Chain A
Amino acid sequence: MRTRELFFWVMISSGIVIMAFILLPMIQLMTAPSFSMLGKTIKDADVLRAIWLSVYTSGLAALIAFVLGTPLAYLLSRAKFRGKGIIESVIDLPIVIPHPVVGIAILSIAGRNHWVGRVLAELGIRIMGSVTGIVTVLTFVGLPFYINAAREGFESVPPRLERVSRSLGASMVSTFFRITFPLAGRSILAGGVMCLARAVSEFGAVVIIAYHPMIAPVMIYERFEAYGLKYSQPVAFWLVLLCLVLFLVLRMLTLYRKRGR
């Protein structure tokens, strides 16, 4: 017991330091704006539009990551091949690159000076200053979080179970959807939430691709620049509140699933 006590206090004290580190600035942010300011801000159509656009584009990014990322995550969890490490590092790249660089990189292939940009222009797709552009950037920065979580989820499903299913006559597709996917479901949901969270918080890359239409983080920046702290904080308050509610709900969903099983 004696030896454990010191370790116990180390854990408790480092926990308190971390909680204070995260919570103090957040509490300051959430309590700074006055009620009347908060009320006025939430009735502001521009603010509502920005917050909605943020949620909507981030949700789309998570959905795209889910649709495109799931097969790749499954492949990476099962297949062994040369150069797999390289593919995995490529997937992690968006985490490492500074945010404005992501924006510049995407812009540089979206312009008329690049064949991709010319093809997009032919198809009538515009990246600069469009919702398409915002979703593109958010998917780019969110993808690694989804793929990594989903891959770990698939890795935790024993291939033995899949083989049993196949041996009983199920096709690959039906094995995947009836055995692997449900068993990895929690990780996939968690990955989706992480991807969504990453997308909602992105600013640096988006402001280069699209200043207008404004997502909430860009609007917070614009309000700060044009009117100062007093008018940017209420917008931040509502965005943080919405994110908290969103993630609490998603978290409860995942916990519920876990207990249910």
Chain B
Amino acid sequence: MKRMGIVTLFVITMVFLFFQFGFAEKQEIERKTVRKTVIIFHAGSLSVPFEEMEKRFEENHPGIDIQREAGGSTKCARKIADLGKPCDIMASADYKVIDKLLIPDYADWNIRFATNQLVLCFTDTSRHAEEVNTQNWHEILREPGIVWGHSDPNLDPCGYRSLMVLQLAEKYYGIPGLYDELIANRPSENVRPKSVDLISLLQTGNMDYAWEYRSVGVQHGLRFVTLPDEINLGSYRFDDLYDTAVVKVAGKEPDTFMEIRGKSVTYGITLINDAPNPDDAVLFLNYLLDPDGGLAVLESMGQPPFVPARVPSGDMANMLPDTLKSLIEVRQ
């Protein structure tokens, strides 16, 4: 009798679970038909403006649910290319990542829509917080005991860009060997996967200075040293100068390397070819690239947008969805 009891209990539980699953499935389907989703993978440095854009866009389009996943730009591209994760829109902190990893197999075009620049972030409790400025920052970073860091150049464009700034600084301030001296005072323990990972280290007093995008400094309320345009990678007028900075990063397999040359920080965005929901994704892109919409949000968050956004060639402009064409100019 006791055994019968156990078996009955088991069967009842199974039946109950079964119905539960059925119910959950049905709810899921209902939810999907009521609210369609647009999946966006984007660079960590775009988290704050994209969150704001998501809010405003969903207010006007209650039927669409924007789902964002932030990560290193290269990681985002890998998730699409290697893991085949479903994704509608991908926005990179380095538009070249889209060119390199997604075009032509996973995407057709690449719109440049905003810029940024590198700054040296710190907090009130950082050592020398009261003295640091555009002239002496490199002296402070060479001082023994000062803990400063940047993100991993192999994983995060902000990482190799930080190294480029240091190389450009060597020339700009005319101090031979500055780059090597700086790196010698930055043990590998101070390197983190993403640049935003460094912020918690700053705020908890584990680190004194960290290289970040200006937007990240603004959005997290950090103090920062603004550097001259000649070295901050923020102005494309100096692209020729930036081009002289070269950083070796991991290639396609371990122990191989590729060289990345300096270029102004330019954000790229694209629509993935097998996007699950291309129609609504284009709708979001329409909002994002609107000078009074997403581009205005970027402006207010410390990431100066290109108005209008641009693609490098007429061929690429022809591949754009029709509704986007009016928002884009062709410009190298």
Which residues in A have some Cβ–Cβ distance to B below 8 Å? 3-4, 6-7, 10, 44, 104, 107-108, 110-114, 117, 127-130, 207-208, 210-213, 221-231
Please pick, from A112, A128, A207, A225, the residue contacting B74 in the complex, using a CB distance under 8 A. A225
B10 interfacial by beta-carbon distance below 8 Å: yes
Q: How far is the CB of A146 from chain B (nearest CB, A)?
A: 28
B7 near A10 with CB under 8 A, answer yes
Which residues in B have some Cβ–Cβ distance to A below 8 Å? 3-4, 6-7, 10, 72, 74-75, 78, 81-83, 125, 147, 152, 154-155, 187-193, 197, 200-201, 203-207, 250, 252-254
Please pick, from A112, A229, A231, the residue contacting B253 in the complex, using a CB distance under 8 A. A231
Given contacts A111-B205, A117-B205, A127-B206, 7 further A-B contacts (CB under 8 A): A128-B201, A128-B206, A128-B207, A222-B155, A225-B75, A225-B154, A230-B253
| B147 CB contacts on chain A under 8 angstroms | 128
B78 near A228 with CB under 8 A, answer yes
The 9 closest A-B pairs by CB, nearest first: A129-B189, A111-B205, A113-B205, A112-B205, A111-B204, A111-B206, A212-B188, A226-B154, A128-B206
CA distance A3 to B10 in the complex (A): 13
A212 near B206 with CB under 8 A, answer no
A129 near B187 with CB under 8 A, answer yes
**8 sample A-B contacts, Cβ–Cβ < 8 Å, listed by A number:** A6-B7, A44-B254, A104-B200, A107-B204, A112-B205, A129-B187, A222-B193, A228-B81
**Nearest B residue to A229, CB-CB:** B82
Count of A-B contacts with CB under 8 A? 93
Please pick, from A6, A128, A208, A227, the residue contacting B250 in the complex, using a CB distance under 8 A. A227
Q: How far is the CB of A125 from chain B (nearest CB, A)?
A: 13
| B253 CB contacts on chain A under 8 angstroms | 227, 230-231
CA distance A10 to B3 in the complex (A): 13
B83 near A229 with CB under 8 A, answer yes
B189 near A130 with CB under 8 A, answer yes
| B10 CB contacts on chain A under 8 angstroms | 7, 10
Please pick, from B4, B72, B191, B254, the residue contacting A211 in the complex, using a CB distance under 8 A. B191
**Nearest A residue to B147, CB-CB:** A128
B206 near A211 with CB under 8 A, answer no
CA distance A127 to B155 in the complex (A): 24
CA distance A176 to B152 in the complex (A): 51
| A207 CB contacts on chain B under 8 angstroms | 193
Q: How far is the CB of A102 from chain B (nearest CB, A)?
A: 13
B206 near A112 with CB under 8 A, answer yes
B205 near A114 with CB under 8 A, answer yes
CA distance A114 to B254 in the complex (A): 40
B4 near A110 with CB under 8 A, answer no
Q: How far is the CB of B40 from chain A (nearest CB, A)?
A: 19
